[in-house]
Amino acid sequence: MSDLLTLTPQERLDRLQELTEFTESCKTQLDGLLETLGWSLDDKDPNQEAMEQCPYDPHHQVPVRSMEKHKAFCSLRKMGYTAEEQEEMIDPSVCYENNSIKTFTMDKPTQHQVILQARSAAPLMRMEGVFWQGQYSGQPVDVPQSHKRTVCDLTVADRLALYDHVIGVFNRQKEAGSSSNDDLYVDLVSKLQKDEEQNEPKTHLELMAEMRDYKRRRQSYRAKNVHITKKSYTEVIREVINVHSDELCKQWREEREEEKDEEEEEEGGERSEHSSHRRRSDERQSVSSDSRQSHSRRHRSRERSHERESKKKKKRSRDSRSPDDNHHHHHERKKKKKKKKDEREKEK
């Protein structure tokens, strides 16, 4: 680039002439090669499909057979729908192909016009139970193609206005043209009432048909319980009051029984506490009595050991004494034994 800037105008013309001669020589060589092979630049592959340019993106060249599918995909892609969102979409037009159900297709200008009309008819200030102008969207938005976009792009007031517009369009179409489903809109109740109001005398055949239908009817559908089916308003209210009062009585009885059960449980708890206290006191008394008995046994064993020792000493002294002394001591010993025996019996 710097070399071209430094060149003079004559030198630039010379360079341009060289490039032109080079391109012409290349072209002549290419034409000669095509002529040798028998080809032509205008020839096309007969098996190649015809391609068309996408109206939404000029860089897309799509076959003619798949142009409609590509248009739907590309238009949604331009509106911001991802491939995952397009997979979740379902075209409902398939359900109405072979039916006479009417459909309505909303476009962007119609949608914006309907919202603006509803907004102009709404009050300026906030009012209870009515949408005001601040709850309508002012800028035009694309027609939502999914429920998620409908909730995000349109307000509650916008959706209600569009619903009213579609219902109004169908009502006008129904009034303008005759519908094949006229029987669906016939008020059969009013028609029967008009027939009864005429009060025309019934023929013999009609009376016989009514009697036949009456006999065919099951007994449970006849008014067999006239004393129940034909009650005055006061009797019905009286029965209702009786039923409610019985239910209240049952509820009060259950509450009283629950209170009694709770009181009995509390009393049982107090009794158990009292019995446990008595058991503890008895256990303490038994422990104290056992300790006393063991103490008395020890005392008796000690006494017996002392007695044995005293007997041994006495025996030794007796052996060393005279016979008279032995007789006297023997008599005293008997008295002492008798005395001790009496003391033991008193203790027992």
How large is the average pLDDT for residues 15-44? 85
The overall pTM is greater than 0.75:
no
Residue 272 has pLDDT above 70, yes or no: no
Which one of 44-48, 209-213, 277-281 scores highest in mean pLDDT?
Answer: 209-213
Angle at 150 between CA 146 and CA 153, to 5 degrees: 125
Task: Give the pLDDT score at 100.
Answer: 72
- Percentage of the chain lying above the pLDDT 90 cut: 5
Cα distances (angstroms) measured from residue 348 to each of 343, 344, 345: 9, 6, 5
Cα distances from 143 to residues 77, 85, 161, 222, in angstroms, run 14, 15, 14, 59
Q: What is the pLDDT of residues 185-232, one digit of tens each?
A: 556 556 656 665 566 677 778 788 888 877 776 655 555 555 555 678
Please tell me the predicted confidence (pLDDT) of residue 80: 82
- Identify whether the C-beta of residue 37 lies closer than 8 Å to the C-beta of residue 43: no
Q: Which two tokens stand for residue 78?
A: 């331009």
If you average pLDDT over every residue of the chain, what do you get?
A: 76
Using a pLDDT cut of 70, give the percent of the chain over it: 70
* H-run or E-run covering 52: strand 51-53
Highest mean pLDDT pick, 133-142, 174-183, 210-219, 296-305: 133-142
Look at strands 61-63 and 51-53 and give their pairing: antiparallel
The mean per-residue pLDDT over the stretch 118-136 comes to 85
Give the closest residue to 142 by CA, choosing from 80, 202, 218, 191: 80
pLDDT the model gives residue 64:
82
Predicted local distance difference test score (pLDDT) of residue 44: 59
Q: Per residue in 292-346, pLDDT tens?
A: 666 667 767 777 777 777 777 766 665 555 455 555 556 677 777 777 778 777 7
23 has pLDDT over 90:
yes
pLDDT at 18: 92
What pLDDT does residue 227 have? Answer: 55
Confidence (pLDDT) at 47: 67
- Give the Cα-Cα-Cα angle 277, 282, 283 (nearest 5 degrees): 95
What is the arithmetic mean of pLDDT over 8-13? Answer: 85
Which is more confidently placed, 18 or 190? 18
Q: How many other CB atoms are there within 10 angstroms of residue 301's CB atom?
A: 10
CA distance 237 to 241: 6
pLDDT of 21 reads: 93
- Distance from C-alpha of 41 to C-alpha of 62, rounded to nearest angstrom: 23
Nearest CA-CA partner of 300 in 348, 244, 232, 268: 348
pLDDT band at 92 (very low <50, low <70, confident <90, very high): confident
Question: Does pLDDT of 2 surpass 90?
Answer: no
- pLDDT greater at residue 256 or residue 174: 256
Q: Which amino acid is at 209?
A: A
